[in-house]
Amino acid sequence: MSDHEVAVYRGRMDITVEGIDVPKPVRMFHEAGFPGYCLEVISRLGFIEPTPIQAQGWPMALKGRDLIGIAETGSGKTLSYLLPAFVHVAAQPPLVQGDGPIVLVLAPTRELAVQIQQEAGKFGSHSRIRSTCIYGGAPKGPQIRDLQSGVEIIIGTPGRLIDMLEAQHTNLRRVTYLVLDEADRMLDMGFEPQIRKIISQIRPDRQTLYWSATWPKEVESLARQFLCNPYKVIIGSPVLKANQSINQIIEVVTDVEKYNRLINLLKEMMDGSRILIFVETKKGCDQVTRQLRMDGWPALSIHGDKSQDERDWVLAEFKSGRSLIMTATDVAARGLGRITVLGSFNPY
Ligand code: ADP
Ligand code: MG
């Protein structure tokens, strides 16, 4: 592509780039230089062209440089870092007995970690690259077995990963490709000490990649401490704004009015759509769920105090539409895909 074509393409795709020596985007899958099996899986999945974050993020990630990638939910960020991760792994010496992973993907919640691994699994099953998911709330035994048999890619939540490191079930000495998915949340919302601890065990010349749908200013300076000469790519407006494809209605009501207002909304909206009700606290979540059930609304709930099995089951019921109302704390705030209604409700 000529510089002019690049500018036109970036303009059309709403791509903004920052950094030194930014590579040109790739307009088609085969231009990215991925192994044949990746292209085969892509065509089997029926993908037609790279999404904008992939078009610009892939050549950046494949340069081996650090990067910050910002694009809205559902824009294909997972493959933006996973496919370059496969290329990265293939270029490293094979693991030997006692080696930890080469790629580490950190995610804020178990739900997201599991989804990322599913995406990795679609491609990994066609290569010899193994991946596993390390997250709290599930038995450690199978996770330890995976770690001990050797995995090139770990996708994990910070707490359980630190447990595994402290118990020496794995180590980060071979990590050269580090991903923080939903990075703003990872850095901003209380994970910073754990992230710091994990990063301190990884060699400083690693490649670090951040991906997020939102990128508040406050996160930027914190984020940059762990990056070296990064690229930055933003799809859409560089200014944080609400997703234009979602109709957002905000009502301000007093605490005592909230529950009745919720019931009235449910009555208006119950047309077979799935309804997700966010509640600020775990306790509030339990209270609203109990009250709804007593009032004849069969709500299910997920939050951080529920067992992993229960969370998995509730999420599956909700996603499949077998159960139409789910209450949740922000464990469900990301990565659930396209759900019809998002209610935000803080009752107490
Ligand atoms: P994000 O992390 O940006 O929210 P995901 O990586 O979860 O988005 O991707 C959302 C969905 O889009 C997934 O089901 C994924 O398989 C699909 N997807 C990814 N890349 C493409 C593409 N190039 N064309 C079509 N669908 C894609
Ligand atoms: Mg994602």
DSSP 147-201: HHH--SEEEE-HHHHHHHHHTTS---TT--EEEEETHHHHHHSS-HHHHHHHHTT
Is the beta carbon of 76 within 6 A of some atom in ligand 1? Answer: yes
> What is the separation of C-alpha 131 from the centre of its chain, rounded to a whole number of angstroms?
16
Nearest alpha carbon to residue 105 among 155, 170, 163 = 155
Residues 167 and 224 in one domain: yes
Residues 227 and 289 in one domain: no
189 falls within a domain: yes
344 falls within a domain: no
* Ion ligand 2 nearby residues (CB, 5 A): 77
Residues 213 and 285 in one domain: no
pLDDT at 336 over 80: no
Using DSSP, how many helices (H) and how many strands (E) does the chain show?
13, 12
Phi then psi for 41, rounded to 5 degrees? -65, -45
Q: Cα of 332 to ligand 2 centre, how many Å?
A: 12
Residues 91 and 202 in one domain: yes
32 CB neighbour count, 10 Å cutoff: 22
Residues 278 and 197 in one domain: no
53-62 per-position pLDDT tens digit: 999 999 999 9
Nearest alpha carbon to residue 106 among 236, 284, 226 = 226
Residues 203 and 266 in one domain: no
Report the distance separating Cα 82 and Cα 67, nearest Å. 14
Residues 225 and 116 in one domain: yes
> Please, what is the angle between helix 192-199 and helix 158-166, to 10°?
40
Which residue owns the Cα nearest ligand 1 atom 23?
50
Q: Cα of 266 to ligand 1 centre, how many Å?
A: 31
241 falls within a domain: no
Q: Cα of 331 to ligand 2 centre, how many Å?
A: 14
Per DSSP, the three-state class of 259 is helix
Residues linked to residue 154 through DSSP beta bridges, in sequence order = 104, 132
223 falls within a domain: yes
338 CB neighbour count, 10 Å cutoff: 9
* 33 Cβ contact list (under 8 Å, min separation 6): 62, 87
pTM assigned to the model: 0.77
124-171 per-position pLDDT tens digit: 777 889 999 999 989 999 999 999 999 999 999 999 999 999 999 999
Average pLDDT over residues 63-75: 94
Integer distance in angstroms from the first to the last C-alpha of the chain? 57
Give the pLDDT band (50/70/90) at residue 343: very low
Residues 220 and 260 in one domain: no
280 falls within a domain: yes
76 falls within a domain: yes
pLDDT value for 241: 62
Residues 146 and 259 in one domain: no
Q: How many domains does the chain have?
A: 2
Report the distance separating Cα 209 and Cα 318, nearest Å. 32
Give the pLDDT band (50/70/90) at residue 333: low
Residue-number span of the structural domain to which 279 is assigned: 255-332
Is the beta carbon of 78 within 6 A of some atom in ligand 1? Answer: yes
Q: Ligand 1: which of 27, 44, 51 to mutate, judged by most atoms within 8 Å of the beta carbon?
A: 51
347 falls within a domain: no
170-226 per-position pLDDT tens digit: 999 999 999 999 998 888 778 889 999 999 999 999 999 999 998 888 788 888 889
Q: Which atom of ligand 1 is nearest to the CA of 115?
A: 7
Average pLDDT, the chain: 89
Residues 151 and 187 in one domain: yes
Beta strand 299-302 with 325-328 is parallel
Give the pLDDT band (50/70/90) at residue 42: very high
Residues 57 and 110 in one domain: yes
Q: Which atom of ligand 1 is nearest to the CA of 49?
A: 23
pLDDT at 341 over 50: no
Give the pLDDT band (50/70/90) at residue 287: very high
Give the pLDDT band (50/70/90) at residue 240: low
Residues 95 and 215 in one domain: yes
CATH of the domain at 286: 3.40.50.300
247 falls within a domain: no
Which residue owns the Cα nearest ligand 1 atom 9?
76
Q: Ligand 1: which of 34, 43, 45 to mutate, judged by most atoms within 8 Å of the beta carbon?
A: 45
pLDDT value for 271: 83
5-33 per-position pLDDT tens digit: 999 999 999 999 999 999 999 999 999 99
Which residue owns the Cα nearest ligand 1 atom 24?
47
